[in-house]
Amino acid sequence: MRSSSFPKGALMAKKQPLPFPVFPHWYLKDLVGVLRDRKAQVVLLYGDVRCFLPNPTSRPGEKESYLEFPLFLRKALENGRMVLFYDIASGIQFLRPEMEAVFKQESGFQTPAPAGGDPIALARAELQQEKELPKDPEACLRLMDRVIKNTDKVTIVIRSAHFLAPHVGSQGTQMMNERVIIERLRNWSMDQDIRSRGNLVFLLTDEVAKVTEELRQGNTGVYQIYIPKPTFEERLAFLLTCHHPPAFPKGITLEMLVHATQGLSLRQMQEILDETRRHSDALNLSAIKKAKRKVLVDEYGDLMDIVEPARGLEDIGGLEHIKTFLAEVLHGIASGDHRLVPMGITLTGPPGTGKTAIVEALAYEAGFNFVKTKNIRSMWLGESEARMQKLVYALRDMAPVVVMNDEADLAEAQRDSPHGDSGVSERLMKMWMEFLSDPKIRGQVLVINCTNRPDRMDAALKRSGRSDEIILLPMPSREERDPIFRVMFKRHQVKTDITDLTPFVLATSGMSGADIEQVVLRAHRLASRENDGMVTGEILQNTIGDFIPGDNQQQIDMMTMAGLLACRSRRLLPRCTKEMVEHICARGLVPDMDRMVNQLRAHGLLT
């Protein structure tokens, strides 16, 4: 396989497309710029810090085409520099053994042997040379401080920086030794002598929120670089460079494999592929997806549910006008014309009308990852914001992804409503809004809000540019209940000899799609006991007569009216809008109905 022909001296950025392996965009754009242009002397690297990167000095035929990040830094920085690595478990380690002696002398940890022949002084010097460097962070940083202020071309790499300078979180206050370390790092970031000597300090952490805010604020001089999960091109290059041409079962392609690994780091890909190959010579796509789901659940399961979509649009009964709209969105995704893809969508309507099914079907048809967000709030100080930040980065890494934000009217609710949480809700909403408004996510991260009460959602969440379409999914009409019955019989493989569903469509007026699904399943259970599993007209009729819908009609009517008032597109309104409103008016269960009807008329929605 081809190896990198990237020239020695990894700090050189290439303007032309790189040969395999592919250097990531964050490295070429951000890190190279920092190192080349001396934008800062303290750099906080966060995200996928356990990543693999192309070997900057590899030659054709060399085995090590990719390196672990610390080893990559060793190779990239090996240019007459003193390079040392530190973590609280291993202490100070050096790029080359001879650097340790220089460090000990420059830091004052060890004094040169005396020129005279004093045997006592010589013995003391020998003992001092054998003495090991400390591991304690405060003592080690004190030695490093002397070196980077008095020596040229020094690079320090501090792994797991959040252990040295942690975010306060639930602890409330910082320990004095942590305060000293944080202040020392702040001083390094603004020390012009350190910059003029060409010295660099890298702080590595997996989550930036774990590091104290005092090193993340804009006035500290600490330059922050996010290391995302690899892109499609980077994963493809890794597979082609580091793996023999894989043997695929019929119908499986390399492109499908690269898509299936979206959201994984190269390290995670390597582990999954190795595990899969240990059990089979051919790559098993389903096994890879299963392993991937386990990895993502372990990594992000506290923030979201990772779902493998199983059904497409053909498995949804009715809602033809909405499926037509989604087909246009899918065309935009497939063609790469992201102008056809909304920034976000809000689905409204009573429970059981198909909101979850629509979101799952869109993810299935698009071939996107599919996740459902969880409550990210925490009882600990600062933890909620950290979880929100992790969620945002996770969604970017998992792109392309369809995100279902269920019960969107309850997620932090209105920002100006009283919370009594010291502004946490407002900060969380602000972070989420900024993410939804980022034009870079269009066509890559499609957030679909689902709610029964759009009138209770924050107005900023519903505005164009965050939720471009607001679509009502009402209780199914008479025409839609027939295809819903047929879809449910097919989906659950329920045997039936019924050909004309008209009587059962009429008997289920006011039932949701979820209610009809339950009727079909109950009929199947009854048929399994009485009729060898065959659902007859009599069994289905008895089941419908036995079923008691659980939803309150007044609530359903209020949800329907709220959804109609929130809709922004006439072509996405239900075909029976006028009749639906007339029935709601006739029931007289919704307060202030006259005002709502006048609003609909003013928008020309009841003509």
Hey, how many other C-beta atoms are within 10 angstroms of the C-beta on 80? 7
Residues 6+ apart with CB under 8 A from 261: 235, 269, 272, 288, 292
Over residues 577-585, the mean pLDDT reads 92
Per-residue pLDDT at 28: 83
Amino acid at 298: D
Per-residue pLDDT at 530: 80
Range in 1-10, 247-256, 434-443, 546-555 with the lowest mean pLDDT = 1-10
Per-residue pLDDT at 493: 93
Asked if pLDDT for residue 319 goes beyond 80, the answer is yes
Hey, how many other C-beta atoms are within 10 angstroms of the C-beta on 316? 22
pLDDT > 70 in the chain, percent: 86
Q: Give one DSSP letter per residue of 384-411, joined into a string.
A: HHHHHHHHHHHHHHH-SEEEEEETTTTS
133-184 pLDDT tens trace:
899 999 999 999 999 999 998 999 999 999 999 887 644 577 888 889 999 9
How does residue 423 score in pLDDT terms, banded at 50, 70 and 90? confident
pLDDT > 90 in the chain, percent: 47
Over residues 80-92, the mean pLDDT reads 89
Asked if pLDDT for residue 14 goes beyond 50, the answer is no
DSSP state of 428: H
User: How many alpha carbons fall within 13 Å on the CB side of residue 379?
Assistant: 0
What is the token pair recorded at 306? Answer: 């990772």
Per-residue pLDDT at 63: 66
Q: If 0-12 CB within 10 Å is exposed, 13-18 middle and 19+ buried, where does residue 206 land? A: middle
Q: Which residues of 395-412 are buried (b: 16+ CB within 10 A; e: fewer)?
A: bbbbbbbbbbbbebbebb
How does residue 253 score in pLDDT terms, banded at 50, 70 and 90? confident
Residues 6+ apart with CB under 8 A from 259: 232, 367
Question: What is the rounded CA–CA span in Å between residue 535 and residue 554?
Answer: 33
Residues 6+ apart with CB under 8 A from 364: 309, 310, 311, 312, 370
Asked if pLDDT for residue 57 goes beyond 80, the answer is no
Residue 354 Rama label (left phi>0; alpha psi -120 to 50; beta): left
Question: What is the rounded CA–CA span in Å between residue 273 and residue 284?
Answer: 9
211-231 pLDDT tens trace:
988 898 877 889 999 999 998
Per-residue pLDDT at 31: 83
The stretches of 448-536 forming alpha helices (DSSP H) are 459-462, 478-491, 502-507, 513-530
Find out if CATH 3.40.50.300 is the number for domain 307-472.
Answer: yes
Amino acid at 314: E
Range in 93-97, 280-284, 460-464 with the lowest mean pLDDT = 280-284
Asked if pLDDT for residue 61 goes beyond 70, the answer is no
Question: What is the rounded CA–CA span in Å between residue 521 and residue 192?
Answer: 73
How does residue 328 score in pLDDT terms, banded at 50, 70 and 90? very high
Which numeric CATH code is attached to 25-227?
A: 3.40.50
Question: What is the rounded CA–CA span in Å between residue 165 and residue 173?
Answer: 12
Using N-to-C axis directions, what is the helix angle for 577-587 and 553-566, rounded to 10°? Answer: 140
Summary mean pLDDT of the chain: 84
Asked if pLDDT for residue 315 goes beyond 60, the answer is yes
Tallying the residues shown for the chain, one arrives at 607
Asked if residue 249 has a cis previous peptide bond (ω within 30° of 0), the answer is no
Question: What is the rounded CA–CA span in Å between residue 461 and residue 479?
Answer: 33
Over residues 485-512, the mean pLDDT reads 93
Decide if 558 contacts 586 (C-beta within 8 A). no
β-strand 52-54 against 66-68: which pairing, if any?
antiparallel
Tell which residue, 551, 586, 583, has the closest CA to residue 478.
583
Range in 52-66, 395-409, 570-584 with the lowest mean pLDDT = 52-66
Tell which residue, 207, 200, 202, 199, has the closest CA to residue 226.
207
Domains of the chain, residue spans:
25-227, 244-295, 307-472, 478-607
250 alpha-carbon distance from chain centroid: 32
How does residue 115 score in pLDDT terms, banded at 50, 70 and 90? low
Hey, how many other C-beta atoms are within 10 angstroms of the C-beta on 594? 10
Over residues 384-413, the mean pLDDT reads 85
Tell which residue, 90, 108, 119, 222, has the closest CA to residue 165.
222
Please state the φ and ψ torsions of residue 216, each to the nearest 5 degrees.
-105, -10
Asked if pLDDT for residue 359 goes beyond 90, the answer is yes
Q: Which residue has the tokens 């390290």?
A: 267
Asked if pLDDT for residue 76 goes beyond 60, the answer is yes
Taking CA atoms, 78 is separated from 11, 98, 104, in Å, by 11, 14, 20
**Terminus-to-terminus CA distance in the chain, angstroms?**
67
Decide if 74 contacts 16 (C-beta within 8 A). no
Predicted TM-score (pTM) of this structure: 0.81
Asked if pLDDT for residue 6 goes beyond 50, the answer is no
Asked if pLDDT for residue 414 goes beyond 80, the answer is no
Asked if pLDDT for residue 185 goes beyond 60, the answer is yes
Decide if 404 contacts 356 (C-beta within 8 A). yes
3-state secondary structure 499-511: CCCHHHHHHCCCC
Taking CA atoms, 39 is separated from 36, 195, 223, 367, in Å, by 8, 9, 8, 40
Q: Give one DSSP letter per residue of 95-133, joined into a string.
A: SSTHHHHHHHHHTTSSPPPPSS--HHHHHHHHHHHHPPP
**388 compared with 58, residue with greater pLDDT:** 388
Question: What is the rounded CA–CA span in Å between residue 183 and residue 507?
Answer: 74
How does residue 492 score in pLDDT terms, banded at 50, 70 and 90? very high
Hey, how many other C-beta atoms are within 10 angstroms of the C-beta on 61? 8
Over residues 413-421, the mean pLDDT reads 51
Asked if pLDDT for residue 327 goes beyond 90, the answer is yes
Asked if pLDDT for residue 86 goes beyond 50, the answer is yes
Amino acid at 565: L
Decide if 455 contacts 562 (C-beta within 8 A). yes
Per-residue pLDDT at 108: 86
